[in-house]
Structure 1
């Protein structure tokens, strides 16, 4: 019985304190699957990574067509970063969520998150930390938001860093 559900049995996954858990299997784009279905392995949450490790892992996931999982890696950095870079990681996570929405066919959500993410990373353009290609990501996010808004095109994979 779930007191939050008015005493009736809830089908939502909750821990012993009543907080939501993400125990349901998910597909490669993070969408919940029916219980008992075989899903894609999730990224473990709360893994401490250096900024370089975060960017390498997130790029690998983006390259593999798994932007939802890249978002989870970037979200860990966002939640644990120092205040001065928190908006950077938040913006990068939002760009990955925008790519997730685009892959799911949700153009409105994609446009919103691409623009929101771009707004968060823009202040870092003059001195990009960790060799992040802020200018390239801004072009990618804003340009593709405009393309998606017209209903045309597929979203190319973003490059977090410029090629060496």
Structure 2
């Protein structure tokens, strides 16, 4: 049995080259997808929040998650929980927009708990992040999608319409 070779990056790591849609779902090779986020960028917290908000507002929470992932991988270790929590919120929105109510709700609640825990919450507030508002948004969306049914499938939400505001106005 012949196996298709895996896509690899310049360093030889397995990395899918398939295009993706706005919710991060892989598309067939040759299809037109949305531009992928460059990996490993080191942004300031303000740049991270601005780019993530732009992507959330565009209905691309999967791509916003990648921006937060860069922040936790390239930023100071003491901020890791903050950026991971924000990434979980973005992935939770991704899952709910794909109709995966159970997985989305779980990630939304986990992210809400992480960003409001003492150290990440204080760090987030110092960057102007509306930590309490985000946690409330996440828990409300989790509750709403959880009511979709016992099979784990829930109502498909519009990611752009449900996009949270990261910073206080």
TM-score w.r.t. length of structure 1: 0.87
- Cα shift at 1:109: 1.4
Q: Quick one: structure 1 residues 50 and 66, their matched pair in 2 at CA, closer, same or farther if it must change by over 3 Å?
A: same
**SS at 1:78 equivalent:** helix
1:69 aligned partner: 63
Distance 1:20 1:60 in 2: 28
Q: Compare relative contact order (CA 8 Å, sep 6+) and give the higher one, 1 or 2.
A: 2
Answering whether residue 46 of structure 2 is matched by residue 40 of structure 1, we say: no
1:4 aligned partner: none
Give CA deviations for 1:44-82 in whole Å, capped at 9, x if unaligned.
111111000000010011011111111111110011121
1:60 aligned partner: 54
Distance 1:44 1:51 in 2: 17
Answering whether residue 33 of structure 2 is matched by residue 27 of structure 1, we say: no
Moved more, 117-126 or 82-91: 117-126
Figure out how many residues of one structure are paired with residues of the other and give that number: 157
Give CA deviations for 1:7-40 in whole Å, capped at 9, x if unaligned.
9433531347653213111111110111111111
Alignment of 1:132-143 (within 5 A): 132-143=129-140
Q: CA RMSD in A?
A: 2.0
- Cα shift at 1:90: 0.3
Answering whether residue 124 of structure 2 is matched by residue 130 of structure 1, we say: no
2:163 aligned partner: 157
Structure 1 residues without counterparts, runs of 5 or longer: 1-6
